[in-house]
Structure 1
Amino acid sequence: MSPPSPDAEMEWEFVSLRSLGLRIQLGHIPGQKCPNPRRAFNDEFVVIDTHGIHEVSLDFCDCIMAKGHVQQLLQMSWFPSTTADPKTAATFRVLEQYQLLLFESKVSAYEFYHGLSRMTDNTGLLHVKDRYEVFLRMIREWRHLKMLKWAGRGHDPKGVDATAGGECTVLCPACPQPRKNLPADYNTSSSKRWLHALFLAIDANFHLKCKVVSKDSIDPSLSCGWAYFVEEHAYKDFLHENVDVTQEKSTCASHNAVNMADTKANRRLAATGLGTVDCAWHNMKRPNAVGDLQKGERYINMDYLFFSTVHHSTVDILNVSYDIACQWHKKLWDRMRAFPPSMQFNHAAKITSFFVPKFHLPAHIEKCQTLFSFNFKSGVGRTDGEAPERGWANINPVASSTKEMGPGARRDTLDDYFGDSNWKKTVGLGSTMLRKLKDALPKRAEHQVALDELEEGLNEEYGAALEQWRTQVEIWENDVAQPNPFEQRMETKEDEKDIQTGACLALHEDCSQSVLISTGLELEEQQQRLKADRAGLGMHTTDNQEGKLLQRSNILQRRVDSWVKIQELYMPTLASLRINERSTSGGVVAADSFKLWLPSQVGRTAPCDLHLQRLEWRLRYGQAHDALRSLRSNLRAQTAILKYKDRNIRGQGANTRARNTLKGIESRIEVAANRYMCAHKALVVLSPFLNETGWHSSLRPLNREDIRFMSDVLWGQTEGSRKLSWIWNMRGAAPDEMDKDGSLEDMRIEWCKARARAKRWEEEVELLTEEMRRILQFFQWEAHRWNELGKECAIEPGEDSLREGLIAYAARQASLRQALSHSFSASWADTLAFVANINLSLPNDSYADMDIDSD
């Protein structure tokens, strides 16, 4: 037949293989001949694969030896849409592709499916059958079955129904797992018990909301609490039984998580977010540690998640991090009594320490910043407690699709995502742990050298005091109820003395008189800082700058409101003063202009407790000296940078950066000067009431001409006639003159912090090496477990091919764990040998500058 001529009109039309007569035969088993071939025809079958959505013709085998239609489809690696007369299937490859795309790009099922639809036809001329709802069902069943398969549930002779809560999670190999990666005597080794502590981090995420789309009775979860989410029915029942429990307010800062836990907007929302408990060191989700929040971050929700996941561990030491730990932990064990017996544990037999994550800690009052700091407690290494925050950034993009899902589908989707996240971190532990160890080794040496140098200088003048400080720190590390060596002692001793003599008037269980006044001074500083920042914006401010200032102002206002309520317990006459103040002002006062009415501000306006005045005088005295130290330090820095700039910096860019640095230092000088003047003014007001004299000689009025460096000359002065500013002449001002009364306390705290830094880096190295050992042992345990599962799988006679598949899959999983163990061990070998060598033979400072990658 001759080809058509070029001039002939040709019409191109898209046609399917089915229309060309293609029929796909199912049910054929290689090596077996069907004795009575019969076929059941299906001419309207739809297959979804990576190339699009296709209509095909299927011939199911219908002989006496044939399996069901579902089994025939699965043998073809096609996943059926239903178990009863399926009309649609998706290839295993397209389901795997979508699952991985979800993990990596957070693509929604809607976007993925319609992308396949456009791959089938991107012109709109061809009618493509809509199988979107069916695809949703298939992907949900697929991820559920894959989760059970990865957990080895298909090998259990008892069946899937015997799956226990949390059994389908990907466990953290580096965390202490009794009978998996811990030695048999880990509980009896007293000297290194801290190495086997479990680090937990609690947090909430309010991006992962869920709309009221369906309900649990219509859309239940398939996993039933087998993975990361708690079992929903028990969780909701417990919350319903305790719906009337009220939550106490914060006595620290005005934490929104505490004070606004019951006010979170939940209109048309089935869940306002998620609460989780993670591994604080490795950022892995823990078994049964995730649950929905119905309002805000209420204690009752977070308590349930905490007790639910702790139930899965038997280690005796818990280090718990939570951004409101200072409030949450107070009555935790009392609240535990309301929980089911299966979730309770003997907390007296465990050593539980509570921490506030490092980034959140500055928002707390000064006492919390030392008592709940990771930097000062022993046995925690360089943990920061911020692990959950890093994980939220990766999962938040899925919120746009999960919030539209039914409750069960949403939990199954997030379970799947958390499992993949844990697995990616598991296979990445080889490089992660090696990088951490290489970073920690020089830091350990550097801080140990700094501590040694500091102690060498202190030994000459404070030898006896240094040993006393060391003893005090060690006592506090063993018992945090003892005096905290990282805190200024003046307030603590004053409160302790008053309690012993019976003169303490404590009207609030968490806020003594000294804490009240010190918090008031802190609020005053925040007001001054906010006012200065607002004044520094100028005329043309951006919306972002205004928004940040408004947010800071709102936070400060809430803190002030909380403080004022406690203040009026100790100073009841202020209530009438504030009423009169509001009536005369005629409006709302801004947070940075709100008058705090400290004892120095009350003066003779109203009666004031003499004890409160004395407390403020002492705190103001210390505040004035601190402000002068800061002022002198910043003046030195300013002079040094100016000299360096004049001698070395050339070019517009470098000069601009230098000017920006100087501008920041000038701002700090201004803040220090204002702090001093405010403290001096208060001392002048309070001293007549307390008959305080003699302080004027060291703390003089600060004028603008006094704020200058030692070598600076005022206008009209010469080198021969100039005078040193009084701020450099006072006791303790010169670097070589140590004010033994005023500076010893500061030196003690500085030594305590230097020692803590050196100890934390030393612990970091020990923890990392121990975790490396645990990881390798965990992989060996998992490999042994999979080998045993391959031996235990019980299959009915005649299912030899299924048995072979189960054994092969178990062997593959065991081999994978062995391969991970060998790979990690090989990459760590040189560095671990280096660590062992320097620990045994070299002094700390001999490897401070070594390049551990030199091999």
Structure 2
Amino acid sequence: MPQEIPTYYQEDAATNAALEAADFDYTLGDTSLPPEEQDVVVTVEKRRNLNSSHPMLTWVDFRDEYLDEMLRLEGRGGSFSWSRCASCEAENPLFRCAHQICHGPEMFCAACIVQKHNCLPTHWIEEWDGEYFERRSLYALGLVIQLGHPPGYSCPTSRPAHKDFVVIDVTGIHTIRVNFCECDARVKHRQQLMRVRWWPATVKDPQTCATFAVVRLFQMMNCLGKVSAHDFVRSLELLTNNDGLTPPPVDANYRMTLMMKRAGRGHSPSGVRGTSQAELALRCRACPQDGRNLPDGWNNINWGEMPEDLRYKYFLFLAQDCNFRLINRDVGSAATDPIIGDGLGYFVNHARYTEYLRSHVSEEEISTCSGFQAMFLANRKRVKGLRTTGVGGVTCARHNMWRPNGIGDLQLGERYCNMDFILFSAILNFILFYLILSYDIACQYGKKFWTRMSELPADMRLPSSFPTDRVWFKVPNFHLPPHKPLCHSPFSFHWMWGAGRTHGETVEQNWEFTNGAAASTKMMGLGTRHATLEDLFGFHNWRRLVSWRGIFTRRMRENVTEGQIHRDAFDAFNAAMEEKIPDKVASWKAWVHDWESEQHADGTASPFEVKEKVTTMKEIRLKLAKEELLRSGEGIEVEREDTPSTFISMGLEIEESQRQLSVDAKALTNPTPQQEHDFLKRRTAISKRIRAFRKLQRAYMPHVRKYLTLSQQAQWDSDSEKDAEAIRLFLPSDIADKRMRVKACAEGLPEVESSLREAEAHEALEALRQGLRVRTLTNRFRLRNSTGQRALTRGQGILRHNNVKIHKAKTPLPRELQVLNEEDVRALNERTVTAEERAQRETVHDLRDVEEGGIGDYGVVALGEGRRTLSWIWYAAKAGEPTELELVEALRVEWCKAYARMRRWHEDVVLVEEEMRRTIQYGYWQAGEWLGRSVAREGSIGEELQEGLRAYALEQAHREARTCEELKSKWSYWRERGRLYLERATPASNTLLPPEPREWEADQEDDDGEEGAPDYDEEEEDAELD
């Protein structure tokens, strides 16, 4: 029977028939143009088609239709598809394939669905339970795959594979019941798998395999998208989980529709157009939210009469910062790639944001007291060709959740106008009791906070009745040390009432998760980039929410355990202090409470610091000059115009010049002729000063040579053979024997040198501390914000220059006060390198051909506050025995810090307990919301759509309720432990409660490594940030 030719092929068929005719003339006529028309160019304008050129613009009017169709699929569809089995016509079929390309929306009975998937074992099945669909596996329905025979045939000598035989496919990770064929012993098991296009993971007794399709998919994604095997498998794991998640979609329409579906907009009679600002964002359930997770009548409480332990439970902790990796090229336009759903999710309202920024075009970047940012400022000024230079973001500072309307693009660095608008958008319509803001430049940001707020739109400002002393500014723990010392106590979370164990670095942790999208979003248009990042922020928030199941358990466990340790340690310390100085302890306690109860400006006296002024060389010289003047006035003869202090000062200045020249010379292993000439000029100048010094030395130390050791005398005699920087001056301190020193020197000369040496050492120590602070902050800033060879090379040069300064600062110290070893020169967050690491560095040093003693380009090894030991350079005291007053001051600082640490652990137990309670209450509130949505559109829509809406709403409501019950059970043990700890009823040994349940220990691995959670390990991260 001849096949009928489709209409759209008829023209081609007629042409082919003509070509086959005998009289068809293949000769073409004369197609040449007249000479006068040969240079004429005819331009045909492309026909404009809005639907193809700008599909997003035409799609906007159909958003409700798309949303309804998506929700319709949550139900069974029309009665024709579910009244009878599509295969055997049995009544009330309950199963369908989740992959619509398999059988469409038809429903099947259990036997038929299994039979139809004999060749498709990696599909997921959905079962209707009377209210909504639940996922089922073909393994659970009894499907058995027989290898070595055609589908549907059994093998008389089959051998079952491992019961947990795993097959990885593009649809996810599946457990499949497999039987191997034993009819032909020559065909190995691995060969049977290969013949059905399953690639075995092992050669012998394979228990895991991947389909050819998923292997090819990974190959392409790895080559083109640089997707790692880890990320690829993790995405398949998320696709497999029965938790409502899907892998990140690639289509902006799908992203937006999915956000609206999850936010319940399809169930609202007002539809998509009725969506309010930030409604599509997933909110933090552990932060206080009126009407959702706070007790009834909480805002009617008299805050002045509320106990301290209850007040800080209502603090809102936020953290904000900028990310300069998420830049965006100025490609496309808002007309061709518009933002769909502006301000409905995590980004601020773009139109309103842009309008506000127009009045702040000339505003400069925010300054910082750290002082190093200017080194990299040039990198951030290059904005040509960029639509945005980065993004600013706000998260909750305790739970790592992005705030609704808490993200905004930056146009020119980090400016007040950008960060103010983003922050106030993130707290818009939020009822506040206290606002605690963590910001790495909080010391500058808070100075004119209320003045700048008055420039914002009226509806974004805090109420005029809101007390200004209820907004506190803090610097994150890791960012605080490089700030000026005056900022340390006022802006530290460690010394803040109600802060608990908050470290404020959550926004930095979140940037680490989002930075992976920097390359892919760099060249996107405005709307596509916003949709992609919105989806990424939402995905992060959801996985973070899921991970709380284990995170809160770990936090409470750590708080109770460590809190008891710190409480016992403080009690012992406090008992000893109250026995010796009870009046001091009482005043210390009152000072700590007064300090922690309010925000302080820099420079305010702190109970956690010892105010010690560093004595400088200039001050010592002035003091000595006054003493010499006093001696002249009392009739004591000063024998020479050159006084002992000027003689010693001259010697110290020469030694400093020698050190500078030595460091500079060693830093250049192969100097140029010009550099050699410069060194020669400096050596000549030093030699002239040494000759002048020797003349004075003959007066103040006339017989110094005979009091030197034999080796020192040899050095004295060989001065003419050495470079100027190698000549030793032999000041009084070079004579080791005290009696010989007194004989060799004029009266009082050793004491003069000792005073000047001490001042020199304190100056050098302060310079060393400052250099190490700069090194720490420079490293952090360079790693966060510098990309590309040019920027990194410039940053490396800055680090090398700073390391030279550190080396120069530490050089004079070994002979003063205390020996300064190489391992002592480390920053506050750096630990001592091990012997193995030191040997490895020496090997690298040798390979680089760096001269011994030269300036190496070493890295640093960082460690958190809770695990490190301080180098003595950070608490070096003045020479001499401490007075009783100095001892009391030191004890005061240690007592106040120990008391504050104990209070922070106690507070965190209260906070974590409250966060657990709020999370559960929010879940029950959310379940009630979904139950109400299940009937919100009844009577106004068709039966099929109504069933889909109801099925989806009931599924979400039941899931929320089940999760709440699971969390109550999961957290009950440690919540009870926390309650007993707060009542001081829990000793160090757990005698008041039975051992921790075994089932909790069994699934601890799942909690610690929650699938899909951000890549950082919070437990380790918190330890680093203590």
Taking the aligned partners of 2:986 and 2:383, their CA distance within structure 1 comes to: 60
Taking the aligned partners of 2:541 and 2:908, their CA distance within structure 1 comes to: 22
* Mapping of residues 661-680 of structure 1, within 5 Å: none
Matched, 1:265 2:408: no
Matched, 1:381 2:525: no
Q: Is the 8 A contact 2:489 2:495 kept in 1?
A: yes
For 1:689, the equivalent position in structure 2 comes to none
Q: Per-residue deviation at 1:96?
A: 9.7
Aligned AA (2:355): D
Q: Per-residue deviation at 1:525?
A: 2.5
Taking the aligned partners of 1:144 and 1:800, their CA distance within structure 2 comes to: 25
Q: In structure 2, do the counterparts of structure 1 residues 256 and 546 end up closer, same or farther at CA, with 3 Å as the change threshold?
A: closer
Which deviations, in whole Å up to 9, do the C-alpha atoms of 1:18-53 show, x marking residues without a partner? x9xxxxxx99955399xxxxxxxxxxxxxxx9999x
Taking the aligned partners of 2:447 and 2:799, their CA distance within structure 1 comes to: 28
Q: Is the 8 A contact 2:775 2:799 kept in 1?
A: no
Q: Per-residue deviation at 1:835?
A: 2.5
SS of equivalent to 2:542: helix
Taking the aligned partners of 2:773 and 2:952, their CA distance within structure 1 comes to: 63
Aligned AA (1:322): Y
Taking the aligned partners of 2:792 and 2:948, their CA distance within structure 1 comes to: 62
TM-score normalised by structure 1 residue count: 0.59
For 1:765, the equivalent position in structure 2 comes to 909
Q: Is the 8 A contact 1:525 1:675 kept in 2?
A: no
Q: In structure 2, do the counterparts of structure 1 residues 325 and 554 end up closer, same or farther at CA, with 3 Å as the change threshold?
A: farther
Q: Is the 8 A contact 1:261 1:296 kept in 2?
A: no
Aligned AA (1:153): R
2:435 to 318, 326, 333: 318
Which deviations, in whole Å up to 9, do the C-alpha atoms of 1:552-583 show, x marking residues without a partner? 46779xxxxxxxxxxxxxxxxxxxxxxxxxxx
Q: Per-residue deviation at 1:401?
A: 0.9
Which deviations, in whole Å up to 9, do the C-alpha atoms of 1:75-117 show, x marking residues without a partner? xx9xxxxxxxxxxxxxxxx9999xxx9xxx9x989958999xx
For 2:402, the equivalent position in structure 1 comes to 285
Q: Per-residue deviation at 1:255?
A: 5.3
Matched, 1:428 2:477: no
Q: Is the 8 A contact 2:595 2:606 kept in 1?
A: yes
Taking the aligned partners of 1:148 and 1:524, their CA distance within structure 2 comes to: 57
Q: Per-residue deviation at 1:472?
A: 1.1
Aligned AA (1:834): R
Q: Is the 8 A contact 1:108 1:401 kept in 2?
A: no
Q: In structure 2, do the counterparts of structure 1 residues 824 and 371 end up closer, same or farther at CA, with 3 Å as the change threshold?
A: same
For 1:121, the equivalent position in structure 2 comes to none
Taking the aligned partners of 1:31 and 1:814, their CA distance within structure 2 comes to: 28
Aligned AA (2:426): T
1:485 to 602, 607, 614: 607
Taking the aligned partners of 2:374 and 2:437, their CA distance within structure 1 comes to: 17
Which deviations, in whole Å up to 9, do the C-alpha atoms of 1:277-309 show, x marking residues without a partner? 001111011110101111211111111100111
Taking the aligned partners of 1:423 and 1:531, their CA distance within structure 2 comes to: 38
2:296 to 174, 177, 184: 184
Taking the aligned partners of 1:843 and 1:195, their CA distance within structure 2 comes to: 22
2:459 to 342, 348, 356: 342
SS of equivalent to 2:885: coil
Q: Is the 8 A contact 1:445 1:847 kept in 2?
A: no
Taking the aligned partners of 1:655 and 1:731, their CA distance within structure 2 comes to: 35
Q: Per-residue deviation at 1:219?
A: 0.9
Taking the aligned partners of 1:28 and 1:199, their CA distance within structure 2 comes to: 46
Taking the aligned partners of 1:295 and 1:673, their CA distance within structure 2 comes to: 40
Taking the aligned partners of 1:522 and 1:324, their CA distance within structure 2 comes to: 26
Q: Is the 8 A contact 1:166 1:225 kept in 2?
A: yes
Q: Is the 8 A contact 1:527 1:593 kept in 2?
A: no
For 1:31, the equivalent position in structure 2 comes to 80
Q: Per-residue deviation at 1:768?
A: 0.5
Q: Per-residue deviation at 1:217?
A: 2.3
Q: Is the 8 A contact 1:166 1:287 kept in 2?
A: yes
Q: Per-residue deviation at 1:392?
A: 1.8
Which structure has the larger Rg over C-alpha atoms? Answer: 2
Aligned AA (2:405): N
Q: In structure 2, do the counterparts of structure 1 residues 180 and 50 end up closer, same or farther at CA, with 3 Å as the change threshold?
A: closer
CA RMSD in angstroms, aligned pairs only: 5.0
Matched, 1:751 2:873: no
Q: In structure 2, do the counterparts of structure 1 residues 177 and 458 end up closer, same or farther at CA, with 3 Å as the change threshold?
A: same
Matched, 1:805 2:948: yes
Q: Per-residue deviation at 1:223?
A: 1.7
For 2:559, the equivalent position in structure 1 comes to 440
Taking the aligned partners of 1:213 and 1:159, their CA distance within structure 2 comes to: 32
Q: Per-residue deviation at 1:846?
A: 5.3
Taking the aligned partners of 2:905 and 2:519, their CA distance within structure 1 comes to: 41
Taking the aligned partners of 2:774 and 2:542, their CA distance within structure 1 comes to: 49
Taking the aligned partners of 2:502 and 2:553, their CA distance within structure 1 comes to: 16
Which deviations, in whole Å up to 9, do the C-alpha atoms of 1:662-684 show, x marking residues without a partner? xx99xx999968998xx98xxxx
Q: Per-residue deviation at 1:259?
A: 9.4
Structure 2, unpaired ranges of 5+:
1-8, 10-72, 83-97, 104-123, 125-168, 173-213, 229-247, 615-759, 777-789, 825-833, 844-859, 862-867, 999-1026
Q: Per-residue deviation at 1:203?
A: 1.2
For 2:768, the equivalent position in structure 1 comes to 525
TM-score normalised by structure 2 residue count: 0.50
* Mapping of residues 619-768 of structure 1, within 5 Å: 699=879, 730-732=880-882, 739-768=883-912
Aligned AA (1:225): G
Q: In structure 2, do the counterparts of structure 1 residues 837 and 591 end up closer, same or farther at CA, with 3 Å as the change threshold?
A: closer
The range that moved more, 364-373 or 189-198, is 189-198
Matched, 1:229 2:347: yes
Matched, 1:142 2:254: yes
Matched, 1:165 2:277: yes
For 2:921, the equivalent position in structure 1 comes to 777
Which deviations, in whole Å up to 9, do the C-alpha atoms of 1:501-526 show, x marking residues without a partner? xxxxxxxxxxxxxxxx9998876234
Taking the aligned partners of 1:457 and 1:759, their CA distance within structure 2 comes to: 19
Q: Is the 8 A contact 1:530 1:592 kept in 2?
A: no
SS of equivalent to 1:184: coil
Which deviations, in whole Å up to 9, do the C-alpha atoms of 1:711-761 show, x marking residues without a partner? xxxxxxxxxxxxxxxxxxx424xxxxxx31222111111111111111101
Aligned AA (2:430): S
For 1:13, the equivalent position in structure 2 comes to none
Q: Is the 8 A contact 1:261 1:298 kept in 2?
A: no
For 1:124, the equivalent position in structure 2 comes to none
Taking the aligned partners of 1:31 and 1:631, their CA distance within structure 2 comes to: 87
1:475 to 594, 607, 618: 594
Taking the aligned partners of 1:373 and 1:333, their CA distance within structure 2 comes to: 21
Taking the aligned partners of 1:377 and 1:352, their CA distance within structure 2 comes to: 13
Aligned AA (1:787): L
For 1:198, the equivalent position in structure 2 comes to 316
Q: In structure 2, do the counterparts of structure 1 residues 373 and 849 end up closer, same or farther at CA, with 3 Å as the change threshold?
A: farther
Q: In structure 2, do the counterparts of structure 1 residues 780 and 747 end up closer, same or farther at CA, with 3 Å as the change threshold?
A: same
Q: In structure 2, do the counterparts of structure 1 residues 845 and 224 end up closer, same or farther at CA, with 3 Å as the change threshold?
A: same
Aligned AA (2:448): K
Taking the aligned partners of 1:288 and 1:451, their CA distance within structure 2 comes to: 43
Matched, 1:839 2:888: no
Q: Is the 8 A contact 2:560 2:981 kept in 1?
A: no
* Mapping of residues 62-141 of structure 1, within 5 Å: 139-141=251-253
Matched, 1:328 2:445: yes
Q: Is the 8 A contact 1:176 1:198 kept in 2?
A: yes
* Mapping of residues 400-411 of structure 1, within 5 Å: 400-411=519-530
Q: Per-residue deviation at 1:270?
A: 0.9
Q: Is the 8 A contact 1:278 1:285 kept in 2?
A: yes
Matched, 1:392 2:511: yes
Q: Per-residue deviation at 1:186?
A: 2.8
Q: Per-residue deviation at 1:222?
A: 1.0
Q: In structure 2, do the counterparts of structure 1 residues 843 and 630 end up closer, same or farther at CA, with 3 Å as the change threshold?
A: farther
SS of equivalent to 2:395: strand
Taking the aligned partners of 2:934 and 2:761, their CA distance within structure 1 comes to: 65
Taking the aligned partners of 2:398 and 2:963, their CA distance within structure 1 comes to: 20
* Mapping of residues 297-312 of structure 1, within 5 Å: 297-312=414-429
Q: Per-residue deviation at 1:630?
A: 10
Q: Is the 8 A contact 1:258 1:297 kept in 2?
A: no
SS of equivalent to 1:428: helix
